[in-house]
Each structure stands twice: as C-alpha cells, then as structure tokens.
Amino acid sequence: MNCEEFLAWMKPLAGRRMPENPEVTDHLRSCPACRQMVALDACLEAGIQQAFTPPRLPAGLAESIDACVDRYADVRQKPDRSGHDPLPSAKPIVTAARKTIL
C-alpha cells in the first residue's frame, strides 16, 4: 500500500474508528506522514466531540438555584404611590429560566 491508496482507504472512514487491515498497519509502520495524518484525524475528531459536548454543571448548582428561588420567591418591594408593583414575584420567571437552562 502506498500513501495515495492509504488516503483513499481512509477518506470514507473520517471521524470513525479504523477497522483492522494488515496492509494499512504495515503502511503506517513504514510511513511517518500517514501516521501523522491518522494522529491529526484523531485529534480533530476529539476536538469536534468536545466542541459539541455541553458543559457539565458544577455539582449542587441546580439545588443552590432552587433554594435561592424558594428563599426569595415571595420577596417584593412595596408598591409605589400610584399602586404600581415595581417588582412582581420573580418565582415564575426564575422557574421558567431554570427549566430552560438546567
């Protein structure tokens, strides 16, 4: 197997695990350029996987937010002179946001 044949063999496998193939194994043993290509492919695939994996929330964050919402859910400022309530209960808004984010 030469480099051109190796690249033709590898192209449809991009991003997937390469199956065992004795010709490929022999070629990779003798060809640093193709070994580097395989390493680059693996590195790119790992980067793509990481980019599309959502970050994990720190342990206890959701519970801390719930506790905070419960603690301050009914806290309100007094209505102004016109009777307008400047800060309605935040619980419905925060609860909806929590469901969306967490």
Residues 46, 24 share a domain:
yes
Structural domain contains residue 56: no
Domain's final residue, options 29, 51, 73: 51
Stated pTM of the model:
0.50
Domains contained in the chain, number: 2
Q: What is the mean pLDDT of the chain?
A: 79
Residue 61 neighbours by CB under 8 Å, 6+ apart: 102
Structural domain contains residue 14: yes
Q: Which of 11-15, 49-53, 89-93 has the highest mean pLDDT?
A: 49-53
Each residue of 30-68: pLDDT tens digit?
999 999 988 888 898 889 888 888 888 788 888 887 787
- Domain extent, residue 81, equals 61-101
pLDDT band (50, 70, 90) for residue 73: low
Residues 7, 44 share a domain:
yes
- pLDDT for res 36: 92
CA distances in angstroms from 71 to 18, 60, 62, 93, 94, listed in the order given:
54, 16, 14, 15, 12
Residues 70, 39 share a domain:
no
Distance from first CA to last CA of the chain, Å, rounded? 51
